[in-house]
Amino acid sequence: MASADFWNMWMPSQPAISIVIWVLIFMLVLYIARIPAHKAILTITHGLRQALRLMAKSIMLVESRLKQRNREVLLAHGRDATERGIEREFQRVEALVNRDLSGYPSLQRDLKEQITRIDEDYVQSGEVPPQPPEWLRAIEAVAEIPSNGSPVVAKILNDIHSTLKKSLDKDVSAYRKANKERHALLKKMMPFWRSLTKILTNVEKKITGLENRSNVIDEQMKHYEEILAKTDYAERMLSSSSLTQFFISGLVLFIAIIGGYVNFQLVALPMSEMVGAGSYLGSIKSSDVAALFIIALEVSLGLFLMEALGVTRLFPVISTLDDKKLKIILWVSLSFLFVFASIESSLAYMRDMLAADKEALTQMLSGVEAAEPEFRWIPSVGQMVMGFILPFALTFAAIPLESFIHSSRTVLGLVLVWFLNSLSFIIRQLASLIKGFGQLIVNIYDLFIFLPLRIEQVFKNKKDSSEMDAVQDRPFLNN
Protein backbone atom coordinates (compact mmCIF):
# COMPACT_ATOMS: atom_id res chain seq x y z
CA MET A 1 0.00 0.00 0.00
CA ALA A 2 1.31 3.37 -0.93
CA SER A 3 1.84 5.90 1.78
CA ALA A 4 -0.78 8.30 0.38
CA ASP A 5 -3.37 5.53 0.19
CA PHE A 6 -2.67 4.62 3.78
CA TRP A 7 -3.33 8.14 4.99
CA ASN A 8 -6.45 8.43 2.84
CA MET A 9 -7.85 5.03 3.77
CA TRP A 10 -10.77 6.43 5.78
CA MET A 11 -12.19 8.68 3.08
CA PRO A 12 -10.16 8.41 -0.10
CA SER A 13 -12.14 11.21 -1.76
CA GLN A 14 -11.59 13.56 1.21
CA PRO A 15 -7.95 13.46 2.22
CA ALA A 16 -8.34 16.30 4.72
CA ILE A 17 -11.04 14.48 6.60
CA SER A 18 -9.00 11.31 6.46
CA ILE A 19 -6.08 13.10 8.05
CA VAL A 20 -8.35 14.60 10.71
CA ILE A 21 -9.61 11.09 11.50
CA TRP A 22 -6.01 9.89 11.80
CA VAL A 23 -5.18 12.78 14.10
CA LEU A 24 -8.16 11.98 16.28
CA ILE A 25 -7.14 8.32 16.41
CA PHE A 26 -3.60 9.27 17.43
CA MET A 27 -4.98 11.68 19.99
CA LEU A 28 -7.12 8.95 21.43
CA VAL A 29 -4.25 6.48 21.53
CA LEU A 30 -2.01 9.04 23.17
CA TYR A 31 -4.73 9.94 25.65
CA ILE A 32 -5.18 6.31 26.63
CA ALA A 33 -1.40 5.90 26.98
CA ARG A 34 -1.02 9.21 28.80
CA ILE A 35 -0.17 8.06 32.32
CA PRO A 36 2.32 5.31 31.37
CA ALA A 37 3.82 7.65 28.73
CA HIS A 38 4.28 10.41 31.32
CA LYS A 39 5.83 7.93 33.71
CA ALA A 40 8.18 6.64 31.02
CA ILE A 41 9.28 10.13 29.99
CA LEU A 42 9.84 11.23 33.57
CA THR A 43 11.65 7.99 34.46
CA ILE A 44 13.99 8.32 31.50
CA THR A 45 14.78 11.96 32.14
CA HIS A 46 15.14 11.33 35.87
CA GLY A 47 17.50 8.44 35.17
CA LEU A 48 19.54 10.55 32.80
CA ARG A 49 19.64 13.37 35.32
CA GLN A 50 20.75 11.06 38.08
CA ALA A 51 23.45 9.57 35.85
CA LEU A 52 24.72 13.02 34.95
CA ARG A 53 24.68 14.16 38.56
CA LEU A 54 26.61 11.05 39.52
CA MET A 55 29.08 11.81 36.75
CA ALA A 56 29.44 15.39 37.96
CA LYS A 57 29.98 14.13 41.50
CA SER A 58 32.67 11.71 40.32
CA ILE A 59 34.38 14.48 38.40
CA MET A 60 34.27 16.71 41.46
CA LEU A 61 35.79 13.88 43.48
CA VAL A 62 38.59 13.50 40.93
CA GLU A 63 39.02 17.26 40.93
CA SER A 64 39.24 17.30 44.69
CA ARG A 65 41.86 14.54 44.67
CA LEU A 66 43.77 16.30 41.94
CA LYS A 67 43.64 19.53 43.93
CA GLN A 68 44.96 17.69 46.96
CA ARG A 69 47.71 16.11 44.89
CA ASN A 70 48.58 19.45 43.32
CA ARG A 71 48.77 20.97 46.75
CA GLU A 72 51.05 18.22 47.96
CA VAL A 73 53.31 18.52 44.92
CA LEU A 74 53.35 22.31 45.18
CA LEU A 75 54.21 22.24 48.87
CA ALA A 76 56.82 19.53 48.38
CA HIS A 77 58.41 21.52 45.58
CA GLY A 78 58.20 24.71 47.63
CA ARG A 79 59.74 22.92 50.61
CA ASP A 80 62.55 21.65 48.45
CA ALA A 81 63.15 25.09 46.95
CA THR A 82 63.12 26.78 50.37
CA GLU A 83 65.47 24.15 51.78
CA ARG A 84 67.81 24.87 48.92
CA GLY A 85 67.51 28.60 49.59
CA ILE A 86 68.23 28.18 53.30
CA GLU A 87 71.12 25.87 52.53
CA ARG A 88 72.51 28.46 50.17
CA GLU A 89 72.13 31.19 52.83
CA PHE A 90 73.98 29.06 55.32
CA GLN A 91 76.72 28.50 52.78
CA ARG A 92 76.98 32.26 52.40
CA VAL A 93 77.14 32.70 56.16
CA GLU A 94 79.82 30.04 56.32
CA ALA A 95 81.79 31.82 53.63
CA LEU A 96 81.35 35.08 55.49
CA VAL A 97 82.49 33.56 58.74
CA ASN A 98 85.42 31.84 57.06
CA ARG A 99 86.44 34.95 55.20
CA ASP A 100 85.89 37.63 57.82
CA LEU A 101 85.83 36.04 61.20
CA SER A 102 88.72 33.63 60.68
CA GLY A 103 91.03 36.57 61.33
CA TYR A 104 89.48 37.15 64.73
CA PRO A 105 92.41 35.84 66.85
CA SER A 106 94.82 38.20 65.12
CA LEU A 107 92.23 40.96 65.35
CA GLN A 108 91.90 40.31 69.06
CA ARG A 109 95.67 40.38 69.44
CA ASP A 110 95.83 43.69 67.58
CA LEU A 111 93.10 45.10 69.77
CA LYS A 112 94.86 43.91 72.93
CA GLU A 113 98.14 45.44 71.81
CA GLN A 114 96.46 48.72 71.02
CA ILE A 115 94.66 48.76 74.34
CA THR A 116 97.87 47.90 76.25
CA ARG A 117 99.73 50.70 74.54
CA ILE A 118 96.97 53.14 75.24
CA ASP A 119 96.84 51.93 78.83
CA GLU A 120 100.58 52.34 79.26
CA ASP A 121 100.48 55.80 77.80
CA TYR A 122 97.53 56.64 79.95
CA VAL A 123 99.30 55.48 83.08
CA GLN A 124 102.35 57.45 82.09
CA SER A 125 100.29 60.52 81.45
CA GLY A 126 98.58 60.27 84.85
CA GLU A 127 99.02 63.65 86.62
CA VAL A 128 100.93 63.29 89.90
CA PRO A 129 100.41 66.45 92.01
CA PRO A 130 103.79 67.80 93.24
CA GLN A 131 104.33 67.15 96.93
CA PRO A 132 105.01 70.27 99.00
CA PRO A 133 108.55 70.21 100.46
CA GLU A 134 108.84 68.78 104.00
CA TRP A 135 110.46 71.91 105.40
CA LEU A 136 107.51 74.09 104.29
CA ARG A 137 105.72 73.62 107.62
CA ALA A 138 108.90 74.57 109.54
CA ILE A 139 109.14 77.70 107.44
CA GLU A 140 105.48 78.38 108.09
CA ALA A 141 106.10 78.15 111.82
CA VAL A 142 109.13 80.43 111.54
CA ALA A 143 107.13 82.88 109.39
CA GLU A 144 104.53 83.14 112.18
CA ILE A 145 107.14 84.40 114.66
CA PRO A 146 106.36 88.09 115.28
CA SER A 147 109.17 90.43 114.10
CA ASN A 148 108.56 93.07 116.76
CA GLY A 149 110.41 95.59 114.61
CA SER A 150 113.66 93.67 114.79
CA PRO A 151 115.66 94.09 111.59
CA VAL A 152 117.35 90.71 112.11
CA VAL A 153 114.05 88.97 112.16
CA ALA A 154 112.92 90.97 109.13
CA LYS A 155 116.06 89.93 107.26
CA ILE A 156 115.56 86.31 108.23
CA LEU A 157 111.98 86.46 107.05
CA ASN A 158 112.98 88.07 103.79
CA ASP A 159 115.56 85.38 103.19
CA ILE A 160 112.98 82.74 103.98
CA HIS A 161 110.56 84.40 101.55
CA SER A 162 113.10 84.51 98.71
CA THR A 163 114.13 80.93 99.37
CA LEU A 164 110.50 79.90 99.38
CA LYS A 165 109.85 81.76 96.12
CA LYS A 166 112.83 80.20 94.43
CA SER A 167 111.71 76.79 95.54
CA LEU A 168 108.17 77.40 94.26
CA ASP A 169 109.43 78.69 90.89
CA LYS A 170 111.49 75.56 90.54
CA ASP A 171 108.46 73.43 91.36
CA VAL A 172 106.22 75.28 88.88
CA SER A 173 108.83 74.81 86.18
CA ALA A 174 109.07 71.11 86.98
CA TYR A 175 105.28 70.88 86.95
CA ARG A 176 105.06 72.52 83.55
CA LYS A 177 107.70 70.24 82.12
CA ALA A 178 105.86 67.21 83.44
CA ASN A 179 102.58 68.49 81.96
CA LYS A 180 104.27 69.01 78.62
CA GLU A 181 105.51 65.45 78.68
CA ARG A 182 102.04 64.18 79.57
CA HIS A 183 100.49 66.10 76.67
CA ALA A 184 103.08 64.63 74.34
CA LEU A 185 102.15 61.17 75.57
CA LEU A 186 98.43 61.87 75.09
CA LYS A 187 99.15 63.11 71.57
CA LYS A 188 100.99 59.88 70.88
CA MET A 189 97.87 57.96 71.92
CA MET A 190 95.74 59.49 69.13
CA PRO A 191 96.80 57.17 66.25
CA PHE A 192 96.20 54.21 68.50
CA TRP A 193 92.73 55.47 69.25
CA ARG A 194 92.07 56.01 65.56
CA SER A 195 93.34 52.56 64.70
CA LEU A 196 91.19 51.11 67.44
CA THR A 197 88.12 52.94 66.09
CA LYS A 198 88.85 51.70 62.57
CA ILE A 199 89.19 48.12 63.72
CA LEU A 200 86.00 48.35 65.70
CA THR A 201 84.13 49.89 62.71
CA ASN A 202 85.26 47.01 60.50
CA VAL A 203 84.14 44.54 63.08
CA GLU A 204 80.79 46.29 63.27
CA LYS A 205 80.38 46.12 59.51
CA LYS A 206 81.09 42.42 59.44
CA ILE A 207 78.77 41.77 62.28
CA THR A 208 76.06 43.80 60.49
CA GLY A 209 76.58 41.67 57.33
CA LEU A 210 76.10 38.57 59.38
CA GLU A 211 73.07 40.07 61.03
CA ASN A 212 71.54 40.83 57.62
CA ARG A 213 72.15 37.28 56.50
CA SER A 214 70.59 35.97 59.65
CA ASN A 215 67.55 38.18 58.97
CA VAL A 216 67.23 36.64 55.50
CA ILE A 217 67.53 33.18 57.04
CA ASP A 218 64.88 34.12 59.56
CA GLU A 219 62.54 35.16 56.75
CA GLN A 220 63.15 31.97 54.85
CA MET A 221 62.70 29.88 57.94
CA LYS A 222 59.38 31.60 58.53
CA HIS A 223 58.37 30.77 54.97
CA TYR A 224 59.63 27.21 55.45
CA GLU A 225 57.63 26.81 58.64
CA GLU A 226 54.51 27.99 56.83
CA ILE A 227 55.11 25.43 54.11
CA LEU A 228 55.61 22.73 56.72
CA ALA A 229 52.40 23.82 58.40
CA LYS A 230 50.72 23.56 54.95
CA THR A 231 48.91 26.86 55.33
CA ASP A 232 46.69 28.28 52.60
CA TYR A 233 48.86 31.37 52.47
CA ALA A 234 51.93 29.26 51.66
CA GLU A 235 50.00 27.44 48.95
CA ARG A 236 48.80 30.69 47.39
CA MET A 237 52.30 32.14 47.45
CA LEU A 238 53.83 29.05 45.87
CA SER A 239 51.10 28.83 43.26
CA SER A 240 51.54 32.45 42.23
CA SER A 241 55.30 32.00 42.16
CA SER A 242 54.92 28.89 39.96
CA LEU A 243 52.76 30.75 37.45
CA THR A 244 55.27 33.58 37.24
CA GLN A 245 58.11 31.11 36.82
CA PHE A 246 56.19 29.23 34.15
CA PHE A 247 55.77 32.29 31.96
CA ILE A 248 59.24 33.71 32.52
CA SER A 249 61.02 30.40 32.00
CA GLY A 250 58.80 29.75 28.96
CA LEU A 251 59.89 33.06 27.47
CA VAL A 252 63.57 32.37 28.13
CA LEU A 253 63.22 28.85 26.72
CA PHE A 254 61.65 30.32 23.58
CA ILE A 255 64.68 32.59 23.22
CA ALA A 256 66.94 29.57 23.75
CA ILE A 257 65.06 27.71 20.99
CA ILE A 258 65.68 30.62 18.63
CA GLY A 259 69.35 30.44 19.62
CA GLY A 260 69.28 26.72 18.86
CA TYR A 261 67.77 27.43 15.46
CA VAL A 262 70.53 29.93 14.63
CA ASN A 263 73.03 27.35 15.78
CA PHE A 264 71.38 24.77 13.54
CA GLN A 265 71.62 27.08 10.54
CA LEU A 266 75.33 27.52 11.19
CA VAL A 267 75.98 23.80 11.28
CA ALA A 268 73.50 22.24 8.82
CA LEU A 269 75.14 23.32 5.54
CA PRO A 270 78.72 22.32 6.42
CA MET A 271 77.46 19.03 7.83
CA SER A 272 76.25 18.18 4.31
CA GLU A 273 79.89 18.32 3.29
CA MET A 274 80.60 15.54 5.80
CA VAL A 275 77.57 13.26 5.68
CA GLY A 276 76.48 14.16 2.14
CA ALA A 277 73.72 16.47 1.02
CA GLY A 278 71.79 13.91 -0.98
CA SER A 279 71.11 11.32 1.71
CA TYR A 280 67.86 11.38 3.60
CA LEU A 281 66.53 9.83 6.79
CA GLY A 282 62.87 9.55 5.93
CA SER A 283 62.05 12.92 4.46
CA ILE A 284 64.69 14.76 6.51
CA LYS A 285 68.19 15.39 5.17
CA SER A 286 70.87 13.37 6.95
CA SER A 287 72.94 16.52 7.30
CA ASP A 288 70.06 18.20 9.13
CA VAL A 289 69.72 15.20 11.43
CA ALA A 290 73.47 15.29 12.09
CA ALA A 291 73.34 19.02 12.85
CA LEU A 292 70.40 18.51 15.19
CA PHE A 293 72.27 15.67 16.85
CA ILE A 294 75.28 17.89 17.52
CA ILE A 295 73.07 20.61 18.98
CA ALA A 296 71.19 18.07 21.10
CA LEU A 297 74.53 16.74 22.38
CA GLU A 298 75.65 20.25 23.27
CA VAL A 299 72.43 20.92 25.15
CA SER A 300 72.78 17.60 27.00
CA LEU A 301 76.35 18.44 27.95
CA GLY A 302 75.11 21.81 29.15
CA LEU A 303 72.55 20.06 31.33
CA PHE A 304 75.23 17.83 32.86
CA LEU A 305 77.49 20.80 33.40
CA MET A 306 74.81 22.78 35.21
CA GLU A 307 73.91 19.68 37.21
CA ALA A 308 77.52 19.12 38.24
CA LEU A 309 77.83 22.77 39.21
CA GLY A 310 74.81 22.33 41.46
CA VAL A 311 72.85 25.01 39.62
CA THR A 312 70.09 22.62 38.56
CA ARG A 313 68.77 19.39 40.06
CA LEU A 314 67.17 17.63 37.16
CA PHE A 315 69.00 14.35 37.68
CA PRO A 316 68.92 13.11 41.28
CA VAL A 317 71.61 10.53 40.43
CA ILE A 318 74.10 13.27 39.60
CA SER A 319 73.25 15.58 42.48
CA THR A 320 73.72 12.80 45.02
CA LEU A 321 77.22 11.92 43.79
CA ASP A 322 80.19 12.82 45.95
CA ASP A 323 82.17 15.98 45.21
CA LYS A 324 85.04 14.16 43.53
CA LYS A 325 82.79 12.48 40.99
CA LEU A 326 80.88 15.70 40.44
CA LYS A 327 84.15 17.41 39.68
CA ILE A 328 84.98 14.71 37.13
CA ILE A 329 81.58 15.14 35.44
CA LEU A 330 82.07 18.90 35.47
CA TRP A 331 85.45 18.75 33.77
CA VAL A 332 84.42 16.09 31.27
CA SER A 333 81.31 18.08 30.27
CA LEU A 334 83.29 21.28 30.02
CA SER A 335 86.01 19.64 27.92
CA PHE A 336 83.49 18.10 25.54
CA LEU A 337 81.66 21.40 25.28
CA PHE A 338 84.90 23.12 24.43
CA VAL A 339 85.64 20.52 21.76
CA PHE A 340 82.15 20.86 20.29
CA ALA A 341 82.38 24.63 20.36
CA SER A 342 85.66 24.44 18.46
CA ILE A 343 84.15 22.03 15.93
CA GLU A 344 81.16 24.30 15.50
CA SER A 345 83.39 27.29 15.01
CA SER A 346 85.27 25.53 12.22
CA LEU A 347 81.97 24.37 10.71
CA ALA A 348 80.76 27.96 10.75
CA TYR A 349 83.88 28.96 8.82
CA MET A 350 83.27 26.15 6.35
CA ARG A 351 79.68 27.32 5.97
CA ASP A 352 80.93 30.73 5.03
CA MET A 353 83.28 29.25 2.44
CA LEU A 354 80.50 27.09 0.95
CA ALA A 355 78.13 30.04 0.83
CA ALA A 356 80.79 32.10 -0.96
CA ASP A 357 81.39 29.27 -3.44
CA LYS A 358 77.68 28.91 -4.10
CA GLU A 359 77.38 32.66 -4.55
CA ALA A 360 80.26 32.66 -7.03
CA LEU A 361 78.64 29.81 -8.99
CA THR A 362 75.30 31.60 -9.08
CA GLN A 363 76.99 34.76 -10.32
CA MET A 364 78.88 32.82 -12.95
CA LEU A 365 75.70 31.07 -14.15
CA SER A 366 73.78 34.31 -14.28
CA GLY A 367 76.62 35.92 -16.24
CA VAL A 368 77.43 38.51 -13.60
CA GLU A 369 81.06 39.42 -13.03
CA ALA A 370 81.96 38.00 -9.62
CA ALA A 371 83.52 40.59 -7.35
CA GLU A 372 85.24 39.91 -4.06
CA PRO A 373 83.61 42.04 -1.34
CA GLU A 374 86.00 44.29 0.56
CA PHE A 375 85.20 43.21 4.11
CA ARG A 376 84.53 39.56 3.40
CA TRP A 377 86.42 38.51 6.52
CA ILE A 378 84.02 40.26 8.92
CA PRO A 379 81.06 37.86 8.50
CA SER A 380 83.51 34.94 8.46
CA VAL A 381 84.97 35.90 11.83
CA GLY A 382 81.50 36.76 13.14
CA GLN A 383 80.19 33.33 12.22
CA MET A 384 83.19 31.61 13.78
CA VAL A 385 82.75 33.53 17.03
CA MET A 386 79.05 32.79 17.06
CA GLY A 387 79.75 29.13 16.40
CA PHE A 388 82.07 29.06 19.40
CA ILE A 389 79.90 31.02 21.80
CA LEU A 390 76.47 29.56 21.07
CA PRO A 391 77.15 26.08 22.55
CA PHE A 392 78.20 27.72 25.84
CA ALA A 393 75.24 30.08 25.72
CA LEU A 394 72.90 27.13 25.19
CA THR A 395 74.29 25.59 28.37
CA PHE A 396 72.32 28.13 30.36
CA ALA A 397 69.10 26.84 28.83
CA ALA A 398 69.23 24.21 31.58
CA ILE A 399 68.18 26.78 34.18
CA PRO A 400 64.91 27.90 32.53
CA LEU A 401 64.31 24.31 31.47
CA GLU A 402 64.34 23.14 35.08
CA SER A 403 62.05 25.99 36.14
CA PHE A 404 59.74 25.30 33.23
CA ILE A 405 59.49 21.59 34.00
CA HIS A 406 58.81 22.18 37.67
CA SER A 407 56.36 25.03 37.18
CA SER A 408 54.56 23.34 34.28
CA ARG A 409 53.58 20.52 36.67
CA THR A 410 51.76 23.07 38.81
CA VAL A 411 50.31 24.96 35.87
CA LEU A 412 49.10 21.78 34.17
CA GLY A 413 47.55 20.70 37.47
CA LEU A 414 45.76 24.04 37.78
CA VAL A 415 44.52 23.86 34.19
CA LEU A 416 43.28 20.32 34.72
CA VAL A 417 41.48 21.32 37.90
CA TRP A 418 39.88 24.22 36.07
CA PHE A 419 38.86 21.93 33.22
CA LEU A 420 37.35 19.34 35.58
CA ASN A 421 35.55 22.07 37.46
CA SER A 422 34.09 23.46 34.24
CA LEU A 423 33.14 19.98 33.04
CA SER A 424 31.38 19.25 36.30
CA PHE A 425 29.53 22.56 36.08
CA ILE A 426 28.44 21.86 32.49
CA ILE A 427 27.26 18.36 33.40
CA ARG A 428 25.29 19.67 36.37
CA GLN A 429 23.69 22.29 34.14
CA LEU A 430 22.88 19.58 31.60
CA ALA A 431 21.26 17.49 34.36
CA SER A 432 19.07 20.44 35.32
CA LEU A 433 18.21 21.02 31.67
CA ILE A 434 17.23 17.37 31.23
CA LYS A 435 14.92 17.62 34.22
CA GLY A 436 13.21 20.62 32.66
CA PHE A 437 13.24 18.91 29.27
CA GLY A 438 11.33 15.92 30.69
CA GLN A 439 8.67 18.23 32.07
CA LEU A 440 8.56 20.06 28.75
CA ILE A 441 7.98 16.82 26.80
CA VAL A 442 5.19 15.90 29.23
CA ASN A 443 3.59 19.30 28.64
CA ILE A 444 3.95 18.98 24.86
CA TYR A 445 2.43 15.52 25.10
CA ASP A 446 -0.54 17.00 26.95
CA LEU A 447 -0.74 19.84 24.45
CA PHE A 448 -1.07 17.32 21.61
CA ILE A 449 -4.00 15.63 23.36
CA PHE A 450 -5.59 18.84 24.55
CA LEU A 451 -8.97 17.86 23.08
CA PRO A 452 -9.58 14.65 25.06
CA LEU A 453 -8.09 16.35 28.11
CA ARG A 454 -10.52 19.22 27.73
CA ILE A 455 -13.42 16.80 27.36
CA GLU A 456 -12.20 14.95 30.44
CA GLN A 457 -12.07 18.24 32.31
CA VAL A 458 -15.60 19.13 31.29
CA PHE A 459 -16.86 15.72 32.45
CA LYS A 460 -14.98 16.03 35.66
CA ASN A 461 -16.43 19.48 36.36
CA LYS A 462 -19.89 18.23 35.60
CA LYS A 463 -19.43 15.29 37.90
CA ASP A 464 -18.05 17.51 40.65
CA SER A 465 -20.96 19.95 40.38
CA SER A 466 -23.53 17.12 40.49
CA GLU A 467 -21.81 15.71 43.56
CA MET A 468 -21.95 19.15 45.14
CA ASP A 469 -25.64 19.38 44.34
CA ALA A 470 -26.24 16.01 45.90
CA VAL A 471 -24.44 17.09 49.03
CA GLN A 472 -26.51 20.29 49.17
CA ASP A 473 -29.73 18.25 48.77
CA ARG A 474 -28.86 16.35 51.93
CA PRO A 475 -28.62 19.16 54.48
CA PHE A 476 -28.46 16.82 57.47
CA LEU A 477 -25.03 15.83 56.31
CA ASN A 478 -23.90 19.44 56.62
CA ASN A 479 -24.98 19.51 60.21
Partner 1 sequence: MKYFAGIVAVLVITLTACSDPKPQTKAVYMLLDTSGTYTKQLDKAKNIIKYLLGNLNSGDSFAVARIDSESFSEKDLIAKITFDMRPSKANAEKRTFNEIVEKFTKEVKGSAYTDITGGMLQAIEYLNETGAGYKYILIFSDLKEEVKKGHVRDFPITLTDIKVTALNVTKLQSDNVDPREYMKRVEEWTQRVEDGGGTWRVINDLERLEGVLD
CA distance 67 to 69: 5
User: By CB under 8 A, is residue 357 in contact with partner 1?
Assistant: yes
107 burial via Cβ count (<10 Å: 0-12, 13-18, 19+): middle
Half-sphere exposure of 134 (CA within 13 A, CB side): 0
Helix (H) or strand (E) holding 333: helix 323-365
Stretch of 277-285, 296-304, 405-413, 421-429 lying at the interface with partner 1 (CB under 8 A): 277-285
Kindly state the DSSP code that residue 101 receives in the 8-state scheme: G
277 touches partner 1 (CB under 8 A): yes
Binding segment toward partner 1, per CB under 8 A, in 280-288, 309-317, 322-330, 461-469: 280-288
Residue 87 or 357 with smaller CB distance to partner 1: 357
DSSP state for residue 285 in the 8-state scheme: E
* φ, ψ of residue 43 in degrees (nearest 5): -65, -45
Determine if 280 is a binding residue for partner 1 (CB under 8 A): yes
Phi, psi angles (nearest 5°) of residue 9 = -65, -25
> Is residue 292 a contact residue for partner 1 (CB under 8 A)?
no
Residue 286 · residue 273 · CB < 8 Å: no
Q: Per rule CB under 8 A, is residue 169 in the interface with partner 1?
A: no
By the rule CB under 8 A, 9 interacts with partner 1: no
Binding residues with partner 1: total (CB under 8 A): 21
Q: Which is nearer to partner 1, 190 or 274 (CB)?
A: 274
361 binds partner 1, rule: CB under 8 A: yes
Q: From the CB of 266, what's the least distance to partner 1, in Å? A: 15
Mapped onto helix, strand or coil, the DSSP state of residue 284 is strand
Q: Which is nearer to partner 1, 173 or 362 (CB)?
A: 362
- Nearest distance, CB of residue 282 and partner 1, angstroms: 4
Query: Which residues does 301 contact at the CB level (< 8 Å), separation at least 6?
Result: 333, 336, 337, 340, 395
Which residue number, 151 or 282, has a Cβ lying nearer to partner 1?
A: 282
Minimum distance of partner 1 from residue 277's CB (angstroms): 4
Judge residue 139's burial from the number of C-beta atoms within 10 Å of its C-beta, 0-12 exposed, 13-18 middle, 19 or more buried: middle
State the Cα angle at 280 between 276 and 285, rounded to 5°. Answer: 75
**10 or 264: whose CB is closer to partner 1?**
264
Q: Does 362 help bind partner 1 (rule: CB under 8 A)?
A: yes
Cβ of residue 281: shortest distance to partner 1, in angstroms?
7
Nearest-angstrom CA–CA distance, 50 and 434: 10
Q: Does residue 272 belong to the site contacting partner 1 (CB under 8 A)?
A: yes
Least distance between partner 1 and beta carbon 276 (Å): 3
Is residue 471 close enough to count as binding partner 1 by CB under 8 A?
Answer: no
Q: Which of 221, 131, 126, 232 is nearest to 174 (CA)?
A: 131
CB of 359 to partner 1, least distance (A): 10
- Residue closer to partner 1 by CB (options 152, 365) is 365
> Which one of the spans 75-83, 184-192, 352-360, 398-406 is the region binding partner 1 (CB under 8 A)?
352-360
Please tell me the distance from the alpha carbon of residue 119 to that of residue 351, in angstroms, as a whole number.
79
The secondary structure element, H or E, covering residue 280 is strand 280-281
365 binds partner 1 (CB under 8 A): yes
Positive/negative CA dihedral, 32, 38, 39, 41? positive
Interface with partner 1, residue 269, by CB under 8 A: yes
Residue 354 binds partner 1 (CB under 8 A)? yes
Distance between CA atoms of 80 and 87, rounded to whole angstroms?
10
Q: Does 346 participate in binding partner 1 (rule CB under 8 A)?
A: no
The counts of H helices and E strands in the chain are 14, 2
Residue 282 sits in the site that holds partner 1 (CB under 8 A): yes
Residue ranges with strand state E in 106-227:
none
CB of residue 270 to partner 1, shortest distance in Å: 9
Residue 361 or 412 having the CB closest to partner 1: 361
Residue 172 makes CB contacts below 8 A (sequence gap 6+) with: none
Binding mask 381-420 for partner 1 (x = CB under 8 A): ----------------------------------------
Provide the binding-site residues for partner 1, judged by CB under 8 A.
269, 272-273, 276-283, 285, 353-354, 357-358, 361-362, 364-366
